[in-house]
Structure 1
Amino acid sequence: MAEFTQSYEVFEHTADVGIHAYGRTLEELFAAAALGMESLMIAPEQLRVETSREVIVEEQNLLALLIAWLNELVFLFDTEFLLFREVEILELSEQRLRARVGGEPYDAERHELSSAIKAVTWHEASITSVDGGYRARVIFDI
């Protein structure tokens, strides 16, 4: 499973916040985007891996798949208060993603929640090929 590394960078965007995620492969890119988003909510070193979930998302194209993937992780936080520090992409195509994520439920006594993400937006969202891999730009509504 991929763990948090500096495979993403945060940038400010009006009342929202965004990330640029990087990966040599699309699998690495999708993992980095998820871990970067999670880092906006909580410092990864505060999290243990106590539970895992399999996540399956299907969409019409790669960018829609990335947005749906990240929104599914937001949904898991909203419904089960789950925060993740590990991501393993098990299957990825242009229209389908299957992944395993590991983390733990939010605990107000142990975790300092930086901000809650309401949604992943389409505003300026992109996936581009760059030297040595891929780059994604994603903006979050906080």
Structure 2
Amino acid sequence: MTRFYQELEHTADWTVRVWGDSLAALFEHAAEAMFELQGADLDANAPVINAIDCEAPDLEALLIAWLSELLYQSETADVVYTRFSIEITEDAAAQSFQLAASASGHRGRGPLSHVKAVTYYNLAVEQTAAGWEATITFDT
């Protein structure tokens, strides 16, 4: 599997730079990075499928909401997510972004390292000439 993220040096937490050729791909790769950094095998069988919907006033807040919801569901339902399908839309009238996704994975977190939270520290979501890029820090 091709990696679409790079781990950046940080003293205590995990910081990654993630990229994608579309906004949806960026959000998918951010989720893959979060679970792979915890030790998940992204090629594992993924029989559990859950729908996830998020809404936020901007892309940074939407990325935090998306990753935080995945983290919450992973912890409470004992699921390791490994595959993602995302659609992101903008509602100009409501001045918000909506995310509708399906997340697939398997039960049993096993000996995964632990991400406590997704943070706003140095958070950035930017469109580039090659697509989209984000910097995300996970509290561990």
Question: TM exceeds 0.5?
Answer: yes
Report whether the alignment pairs 1:9 with 2:11: no
Q: Supply the RMSD in Å over aligned alpha carbons.
A: 1.6
Q: Taking structure 1 as reference, are residues 24 and 50 closer, same or farther at Cα in structure 2, changes over 3 Å only?
A: same
What corresponds to 2:124 in structure 1? 126
Residues 80-138 of structure 1: per-residue CA shift (max 9 Å, x gap): 12111100013433511000010011253xxx41x111000000000112221010000
Query: Which of residues 45, 70, 74 is equivalent to 1:73?
Result: 70
Query: Which of residues 96, 105, 109 is equivalent to 2:98?
Result: 96
Q: Taking structure 1 as reference, are residues 72 and 133 closer, same or farther at Cα in structure 2, changes over 3 Å only?
A: same
Q: Taking structure 1 as reference, are residues 44 and 123 closer, same or farther at Cα in structure 2, changes over 3 Å only?
A: same
Query: Which of residues 12, 17, 20 is equivalent to 1:20?
Result: 17
Percent of counterpart pairs with the same letter?
31
Scaled by the length of structure 2, the TM-score of the pair is 0.88
> What are structure 1's unaligned runs of at least 5 residues?
none
Q: Taking structure 1 as reference, are residues 92 and 35 closer, same or farther at Cα in structure 2, changes over 3 Å only?
A: farther
Equivalent pairs counted in the alignment come to 135
Q: Which residue identity is paired with 2:101?
A: A
Quote the Cα distance in structure 1 between the aligned partners of 2:19 and 2:78.
26
Q: Taking structure 1 as reference, are residues 22 and 82 closer, same or farther at Cα in structure 2, changes over 3 Å only?
A: same
Conserved? CA contact 2:49–2:105, under 8 Å:
yes
Query: Which of residues 39, 43, 64 is equivalent to 1:42?
Result: 39
> What are structure 2's unaligned runs of at least 5 residues?
91-95
Conserved? CA contact 1:49–1:102, under 8 Å:
yes
Q: Which residue identity is paired with 1:59?
A: A
What corresponds to 1:82 in structure 2? 79
Q: Which residue identity is paired with 2:34?
A: M
Quote the Cα distance in structure 2 between the aligned partners of 1:139 and 1:62.
15
Q: Taking structure 1 as reference, are residues 60 and 45 closer, same or farther at Cα in structure 2, changes over 3 Å only?
A: closer
Higher strand content, 1 or 2: 2
Conserved? CA contact 1:27–1:92, under 8 Å:
no
Secondary structure at the residue paired with 1:53? strand
Q: Taking structure 1 as reference, are residues 31 and 45 closer, same or farther at Cα in structure 2, changes over 3 Å only?
A: closer
What corresponds to 1:54 in structure 2? 51
Secondary structure at the residue paired with 2:120? coil
Instruction: List structure 1 runs of 4+ shifted beyond 4 angstroms.
Output: none
